Amino acid sequence: MTISTRSSSPASTPTGLPEVVGHDTLVPCLDGVERPYVNLDNAATTPALREVAETVERFGSWYSSVHRGTGYKSRLSTGAYEQARRIVGDFVGVDWDAQTVIFTQHTTDSVNRLARRFPLENSDLVLSTVMEHHANLLPWSQKDQVVHVGLEAGGRGPGIDLDGVRSAFEEYGGRIRLLAVTGASNVTGCMTPIHELARLAHRNGALIFVDGAQLVPHRPVDLLSSDDPAHIDFMAFSGHKMYAPYGTGVLVGPRSIFGTGTPAVLGGGAVDAVRLDEVLWTDLPEREEAGSPNVVGAVALAKACRVLDACGMDRIARHERELTAHMLERLREVPGLRLVGGEDPDPERDRVAVFAFTMDGYEHGELAAILGFEYGIAVRNGCFCAHPYIRILAEVSEEEDRSMWERIQRGERTDMPGFVRASAGCYTAAEHVDALADALLRIAEQGPQSTYQVDPATGDHLPGDYRPTFEDRFRI
C-alpha cells in the first residue's frame, strides 16, 4: 500500500493553552492518505504536555534512588520527589495540617488502597452511586457493605439522585461511614455537586471520597480546609489523565486515617524497624508508599500541575465550555445521532467535555472503527468501565442483560450495549470538533468505505483484510 501525505495541516493548539506532544502527527488511513490525528479519546488518557516531556528528559540526567541515599543525585531526587508532593497537593487545595498526599500507580490503585485502609465495623456502610467508574465501584462492592443510590429523572439519569442520597442517610442513620462518588462522569460528562454532598455527609457523621480522575484535569478543585463543613476528606486522581502519562496516581486523605493501623501495601520504605514477629511502621506519607516510588512520574505530574496552574484552570474551564457548546451544536446536525445525557447545553448545569452517542444504522464498535480507520479520528466505544451506568442509559432490559451475560461467559462479545465517546482536552480545538462532525455527516450520507467484520472474541471491528503496520512507525 502506498502512503501519500495530505496537504492539509493539523489543527493548532488554541492560543494561550498548553501544547501537547504529538498534536501534529499524521496517521495512515484506509484510503492510503495520511491525515492529522484527531485525538478525542482524552477521557481514557491524555498525551503529555510538551513542557512535561521536556522536564522528564531534563530530570533523567539527575534521576536516582530517593530517601536514605547519600549521593548527590539521590539527595536531589529526594528533594524533587517531595517538592512534587507539595506542588500536587497545593494544586487541589490540600489541608496539610490534616491531610496527607500519597503517590500511587493510578486512580484505581488509589481507591483500592483506600478501600483496604478505611475503617469499617460490621454494621457500617459505604454509600455510593450506580454511575461510578469500576475503579470506584468494585473495591467497595467486595466488602459487601455498600449501598447504591440511583440516577435523577426517575432513575433515567444522567446525574446523581440527590434526593436518593438524602433518603439513604435518613434510612440508614449513622451506619453510613463514607460517601464515595465521582466528581465527573467519564460517560456523560455530568458533574457531581461534591461540596454540597460533603456538607450532607458531614452533617450525618460520614466522610466523603471523590473520584477526581475526570474532574481535576478539567475544573479548578479546592478540597477546602478541614474545618469547613463542605471540605472533601478523600480524593484520588491520575497523572495519565492530566497530561503526565508516566505512571503516577494520587490519594489524598486525613492523616488520622492513614497514620494508624497497617499500611495498604507492605514492604521496604514503610518501616522504621522490623523483627521477624514485629514491625514499627514509619511516619506518613512513607508508611503508605512501600517500595521504590515512581519519582519520574511524580515529577511529571507536578510539572503538569504547574503548567495547568500557570495557564489557569478557570481559563481551561471556559475553553472547555465553549468546545462543549460547539460540539453539541455540530452533533445536532448529524441525522440519526442521539447524544446520551441531553443534547442542549444547560447554562445552569456545568459538565466536562465528554460526549457519548449512538447513530442510527451503526453498532457503536463499527462507528468508532470507521472514524479511526477512515478519518484518523480517535474515539472510544463500549461501556467505558461503567457497566451498570451504561445499562441504565442504554435502557437494557433484564432479558437483554441476561442474554449478554451468557454470551460473555461463552466468550462472545458481539452486540454488546454501549456508545461511542468523544472527549476533549485542554489542547482540543474547534477544528477537532468540526473534523468529527464532518466525518459523522459523511458517514451518515455516504456510508463507510469498507465492509467491517467483527471479531467475536474481542468485539473489535476491522475493515476487510486491511491491517495497519506499526513497526515502520515505532519500535523499541
pLDDT tens, residue by residue, 316-339: 999 999 999 999 999 999 999 999
Cβ neighbours of 170 (radius 10 Å): 9
- Active-site pick, 190, 383, 385, 426: 385
| Dmax (CA) of the chain | 72
Q: Where in the chain is the domain with CATH 3.40.640.10?
A: 52-310
Q: Domain 4-47+312-463: which topology?
A: Aspartate Aminotransferase, domain 1 (3.90.1150)
pLDDT (mean) for 3-19: 61
Q: What is the mean pLDDT of residues 267-280?
A: 95
Using DSSP bridges, classify how beta strands 337-339 and 354-359 pair: parallel, antiparallel or unpaired. Answer: antiparallel
Indicate the pTM of the whole model.
0.94
Of all residues in the chain, the percent with pLDDT exceeding 70 is: 96
Establish whether 385 is a catalytic residue.
Answer: yes
Cα-based distances in Å from 452 to 80, 122, 229, 418, 440? 50, 52, 54, 18, 17
The string of pLDDT tens digits covering residues 22-75 is 988 999 999 999 999 999 999 999 999 999 999 999 999 999 999 988 999 999
Q: What is the CA radius of gyration of the chain?
A: 23
C-alpha 52/C-alpha 332 separation (Å) is: 36
36-74 core/surface letters (b: 16 or more CB in 10 A; e: else):
bbbbbbbbeebbbbbbbbebbeebeeebeebbeeeeeeb
What CA–CA distance (Å, rounded) separates 266 from 177? 26
From the list 421, 453, 468, 430, the residue with the least C-alpha distance to 34 is 468
Question: Residue 3 has what pLDDT?
Answer: 30
Non-local CB neighbours of 263 within 8 Å, separated by 6+ positions: 117, 270, 281, 287, 288, 290
Distance CA 412, CA 398 (A): 19
Phi, psi of 63 (to 5 degrees): -60, 135
pLDDT tens profile 77-104: 999 999 999 999 999 999 999 999 999 9
Q: Are strands 33-36 and 26-28 parallel, antiparallel or unpaired?
A: antiparallel
What is the three-class DSSP state of 388?
A: helix
Dig out the grid coordinates for 180 from the structure.
Answer: 464515595
* Alpha-helical runs (H) found in 67-144: 72-91, 107-117, 138-141
d(CA 127, CA 201): 10
Upper half-sphere CA count for residue 197 (Cβ side, 13 Å): 29
Q: What is the pLDDT of residues 121-163, one digit of tens each?
A: 999 999 999 999 999 999 999 888 999 999 988 777 789 999 9
Residue of 253, 266, 289 lying closest to 115 (CA atoms): 253
Neighbours of 401 (CB within 10 A): 13
Residue range(s) in the chain whose domain bears CATH number 3.90.1150.10: 4-47+312-463
Residue located via cell numbers 515502520: 472
| pLDDT above 60: residue 1 | no
Q: Does domain 52-310 have CATH number 3.40.640.10?
A: yes
Write down the pLDDT at residue 413: 81
